[in-house]
């Protein structure tokens, strides 16, 4: 694969481009925000979709045995987690799965814990359904972000707290939680009767030296108390195909989730998404390995560039994800000033830190899943703009 190739997404209704005006007030920004990649998918995915498109009937289509078997095999081979296909259910997306779990296991007024700074829809899936957000903020240390377990224990011991929406690997801070961290967090939840919804959408995008461990694989007890959300969408750049799934070995958790899928009529899948998932999981590993190497190169480049030219901009090396969480707080800007600076001076469309929680003040999230030349252009724009202020 030639990931250096710049592929124009103009004219494809790409969200990353089309929402520039709405988010940044102008189209004149380099869009490095929403979490998809600017790379072509692996050949097998394109071929499978073309093959299916050759048949002229696109009616309601169910998922076959091969779909579920592909998931079971992928999860085993990639994450060393042995699951049964009876524990797996398909869904149209991970965020819809989070919403269904909020509806299935909590009541309006119940409290749900999240660990900000965190993916903004985690706030929405709670607020939009009249549940109450309880924050267990991550702690930013010299060595990287850590969970505050004493605080987690304290918040979850409130009997009104019913659920933790957990992010592993964590967006935006890029942590891949270790088995000790998972065990501690999972056991605190178990002790306090708090169900864990583990969003593991970034599980496959883990860099050398780190290993993704599914929360539910840590122990049989934690498995009973966890719903795991996964998808090929981030991994293989097929978010537009709306195909995800969740895994629960606890039959009661699965039953209640399936009921929600039924009553909201969300059980019919996307035909092309199902074809893509199968070939991605069966044949996509070499492409994934290549893209991970390329992404690591982009991360090295950004880290090197910042260290050399703007050492006051801090960033922890992400252990996973194609997202970098840049800390501009030394510039002393207010939130509005930093946003304005990025758009008007640097002409960059990044995600604004405070949308990930108040802990994101002074931060911007950079998506590095673009050709190196685009990332170089972004860094040059940033440096030129910064030289105007320092
Ligand atoms: C942690 C996390 N969960 C869920 C999603 C989106 O999932 P979906 O598009 O399947 O709803 C994202 C996308 O960036 C994400 O980062």
pLDDT digits (tens, 9 = 90+) for 136-174: 999 999 999 999 999 999 999 999 999 999 999 999 999
Same-domain status, 307 and 278: no
**% of the chain beyond a pLDDT of 90:** 99
The number of helices, as runs of H, and strands, as runs of E, in the chain is 15, 14
The CA 33 to ligand 1 mean position distance, Å, reads 13
Answer whether residue 103 is part of any domain: yes
Band (390; pLDDT cuts 50, 70, 90): confident
End of a domain among 267, 283, 299?
Answer: 283
Same domain, 20 and 103: no
**Residues 335, 196: one domain?**
no
pLDDT of the residue at 224: 98
DSSP-assigned beta bridge partners for residue 91: 244
One domain, residues 96 and 228 = yes
Let me know whether 228 and 305 are in one domain: no
Pocket test for ligand 1, best of 94, 200, 212, 322 (most atoms within 8 A of CB): 94
pLDDT at 128 over 90: yes
Boundary residue ending a domain (248, 283, 318): 283
Which helix (H) or strand (E) covers residue 135, if one does?
A: strand 132-135
What is the average per-residue pLDDT within 188-198?
98
Specify whether 94 is located in the same domain as 220: yes
Q: In terms of domains, do 66 and 176 share one?
A: yes
- Report the separation in Å between the CA atom of 310 and the middle of ligand 1, taken as the mean of its atom positions: 31
Residue 269 lies in a domain: yes
Q: Is 109 left (phi over 0), alpha (psi -120 to 50) or beta?
A: left
| Domain-located, residue 200 | yes
- Confirm whether 362 is domain-assigned: yes
210 within some domain: yes
CA distance 108 to 65: 37
Torsion of the alpha carbons at 204, 206, 209 and 214, rounded to the nearest 10: -60
Over residues 281-304, the mean pLDDT reads 98
Same domain, yes or no: 261 and 303: no
- Kindly calculate the radius of gyration of the chain based on its CA atoms and give it in whole angstroms: 21
Ligand 1 in reach of 173 Cβ (< 6 A): no
pLDDT of residue 182: 98
**239 domain-assigned:** yes
Q: Is 231 in the pocket of ligand 1 (CB under 6 A)?
A: yes
- Is any ligand 1 atom within 6 A of the Cβ of residue 230? no
- What confidence score (pLDDT) does residue 2 get? 95
Q: Could you give the percent of the chain with pLDDT greater than 70?
A: 100
Distance (Å) from CA 109 to ligand 1 centroid: 25
Give the whole-angstrom CA distance, residue 267 versus residue 244: 11
Cβ neighbourhood burial of 18 (10 Å; 0-12, 13-18, 19+) = middle
Q: What is the pLDDT of residue 243?
A: 98
Residue 6 lies in a domain: no
Q: Work out which ligand 1 atom sits closest to the CA atom of 323.
A: 16
Ligand 1 pocket check for 167: Cβ under 6 Å? yes
Largest Cα span, the chain: 61
160 and 227: one domain? yes
Q: How far is it, in rounded angstroms, from Cα 191 to Cα 164?
A: 13
**Residues 6+ positions from 74 with CB-CB distance below 8 Å:** 281
Atom of ligand 1 nearest to the CA of 35: 14
pLDDT band at 336 (very low <50, low <70, confident <90, very high): very high
Best of 121, 175, 246, 269 for a ligand 1 pocket test (most atoms within 8 Å of beta carbon): 121
| Structure confidence at residue 199 (pLDDT) | 99
In a shared domain, residues 294 and 276: no
Residues 151 and 163 in one domain: yes
Per-residue pLDDT tens digits for 21-73: 999 999 999 999 999 999 999 999 999 999 999 999 999 999 999 999 999 99
In a domain, 10, yes or no: no
Please report, for the domain that includes residue 359, its CATH number: 3.90.1150.10
| Cβ 229 under 6 angstroms from ligand 1 | no
Nearest-atom number in ligand 1 for the CA of 239 is 9
Mutate to test the pocket of ligand 1, among 98, 118, 119 (most ligand atoms within 8 A of CB): 119
Q: Are 89 and 262 in contact (CB under 8 A)?
A: no
Same domain for 138 and 161?
A: yes
Rounded to the nearest angstrom, the distance between the alpha carbon of 339 and the centre of ligand 1 is: 23
- Residue 308 is part of which domain span? 15-42+286-389
Domain count for the chain = 2
The whole-number pLDDT of residue 1 equals 85
Domain boundary among 283, 315, 340: 283
**284-291: average pLDDT:** 98
Q: Report whether 176 contacts 168 (CB < 8 A).
A: yes
Nearest CA to ligand 1 atom 7: 94
**What CATH number is associated with residue 110?**
3.40.640.10
């Amino acid at each position: 694969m030639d990931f250096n190739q710049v592929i124009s997404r103009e004219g494809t209704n790409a969200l990353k481009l089309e929402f520039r005006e709405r988010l940044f007030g102008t189209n004149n920004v380099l869009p490095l925000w929403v979490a998809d990649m600017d790379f072509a998918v692996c050949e097998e995915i394109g071929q499978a979709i073309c093959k299916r498109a050759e048949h002229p009937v696109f009616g309601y289509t169910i998922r076959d045995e091969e779909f579920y078997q592909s998931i079971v095999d992928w999860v085993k081979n990639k994450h060393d987690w042995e699951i049964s296909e009876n524990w797996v259910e398909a869904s149209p997306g991970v965020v819809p799965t989070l919403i269904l779990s909020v509806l299935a296991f909590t009541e309006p007024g119940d409290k749900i814990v999240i660990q900000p700074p965190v993916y903004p829809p985690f706030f929405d899936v709670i607020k939009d359904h009249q549940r109450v957000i309880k924050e267990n903020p991550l702690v930013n240390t010299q060595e990287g972000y850590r969970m505050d377990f004493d605080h987690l224990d304290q918040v979850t011991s409130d009997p009104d707290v019913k659920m933790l929406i957990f992010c592993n690997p964590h967006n935006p801070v890029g942590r891949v939680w270790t088995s000790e961290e998972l065990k501690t967090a999972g056991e605190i939840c178990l002790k306090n009767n708090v169900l864990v919804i583990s969003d593991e959408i970034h599980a496959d995008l883990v860099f050398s030296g780190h290993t993704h461990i599914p929360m539910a694989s840590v122990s049989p007890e934690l498995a009973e108390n966890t719903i795991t959300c996964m998808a090929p969408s981030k991994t293989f750049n097929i978010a537009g195909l709306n195909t995800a799934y969740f895994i629960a070995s606890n039959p009661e958790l699965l039953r209640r989730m399936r009921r929600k899928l039924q009553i909201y009529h969300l059980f019919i899948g996307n035909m092309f998404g199902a074809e893509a998932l199968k070939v991605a999981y069966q044949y996509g590993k070499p492409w994934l390995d290549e893209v991970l190497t390329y992404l690591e190169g982009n991360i090295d480049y950004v880290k090197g560039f910042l260290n050399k030219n703007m050492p006051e901009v801090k960033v922890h090396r992400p252990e996973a994800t194609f997202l970098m969480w840049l800390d501009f707080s030394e510039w002393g800007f207010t939130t509005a000033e930093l946003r304005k600076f990025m758009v008007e001076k640097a002409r960059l469309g990044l995600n604004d830190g405070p949308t990930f929680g108040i802990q994101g003040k002074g931060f911007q999230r950079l998506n590095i899943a673009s050709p190196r030349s685009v990332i170089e252009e972004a860094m040059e724009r940033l440096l030129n703009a910064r030289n105007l202020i320092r």
